[in-house]
């Protein structure tokens, strides 16, 4: 068997990938070093609003973030704990879609009611959360200056 050198090859060969979360961009859903996520190979269909996707940012950075807007030719994507949206992510950039995650040793599916509720709330409050986070950052800077 050939050596698998990247996530694309691994997912194409095995159909899915289970991997540990690195970074804080998907908090509170995925905690660094504690939770794992399951990404499955994309079907031929376009991704949907709210899907968490693994995509490649050139040259070879892999990112797991949520689709916050589906446009005709691309997607707008945002990490659950991020301030800035990413524009222009195309179907060919997306390697797979998160189908589940593992927290405290228990596997959860994205079709579960609790996850669907979390996803709905997180998706529809993104603007408010970003605004509050930016205000908190400004207040913190002002306090540190004094």
Tell me if 28 is assigned to some domain: yes
* pLDDT on residue 48: 97
Residue 19 Rama label (left phi>0; alpha psi -120 to 50; beta): beta
Tell me which residue of 71, 106, 63 sits closest to 88, measured CA to CA: 71
1 found inside a domain: no
Check residue 60 and give its pLDDT.
Answer: 77
Contacts of 126 by beta carbon, 8 Å cutoff, 6+ apart: 68, 78
Q: Examine the pLDDT at 40 and tell me if it is beyond 70.
A: yes
Q: Is residue 99 part of a domain?
A: yes
pLDDT score of 102 more than 90: yes
pLDDT attached to residue 91: 96
- Please indicate, yes or no, if residue 130 is contained in any of the structural domains: yes
Total structural domains within the chain = 1
> Is residue 131 over pLDDT 80?
yes
The answer to whether residue 2 sits within a structural domain is no
Asked if residues 114 and 48 have their Cβ atoms less than 8 Å apart, the reply is no
Nearest in space to 123 (alpha carbons), one of 78, 63, 74: 78
135: domain range? 7-145
Exposure of 57 by Cβ count < 10 A (0-12 exposed, 13-18 middle, 19+ buried)? Answer: exposed
> With the CA atoms of 131, 127, 104 and 9 taken in that order, what torsion angle do they form, in degrees rounded to the nearest 10?
-120
CATH code for position 41 = 2.10.109.10
Confidence (pLDDT) at 1: 38
pLDDT of 4 reads 56
Residue 50 makes CB contacts below 8 A (sequence gap 6+) with: 66, 67, 119, 120, 123
How far is 36 from 119, CA to CA, in rounded Å? 17
Q: Give the separation between CA 101 and CA 133, rounded to whole angstroms.
A: 26
Residue 122 covered by a domain: yes
The helix or strand, by DSSP H or E, that contains position 129, with its residue range, turns out to be: helix 126-145
Instruction: Look at residue 3 in the predicted model and tell me its pLDDT.
Output: 53
Q: Give percent of the chain with pLDDT exceeding 70.
A: 96
Q: 137 — phi, psi (to 5°)?
A: -65, -45
pTM, rounded to two decimals = 0.91
132 is a domain residue:
yes
- 68 assigned to some structural domain: yes
């Amino acid at each position: 068997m050939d050596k698998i050198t990247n996530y694309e090859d691994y997912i194409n060969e095995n159909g899915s990938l289970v991997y540990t979360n690195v970074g804080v961009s998907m908090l509170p859903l995925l905690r660094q070093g504690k939770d794992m996520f399951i990404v499955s190979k994309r079907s031929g269909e376009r991704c949907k609003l709210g899907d968490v996707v693994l995509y490649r940012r050139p040259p070879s950075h892999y990112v797991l973030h949520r689709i916050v807007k589906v446009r005709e030719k691309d997607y707008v994507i945002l990490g659950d704990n991020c301030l800035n949206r990413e524009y222009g992510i195309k179907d060919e950039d997306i390697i797979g879609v998160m189908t589940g995650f593992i927290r405290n040793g228990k596997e959860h599916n994205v079709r579960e009611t609790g996850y669907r509720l979390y996803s709905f709330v997180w998706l529809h409050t993104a603007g408010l959360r970003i605004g509050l986070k930016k205000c908190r950052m400004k207040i913190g800077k002002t306090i540190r200056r004094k």
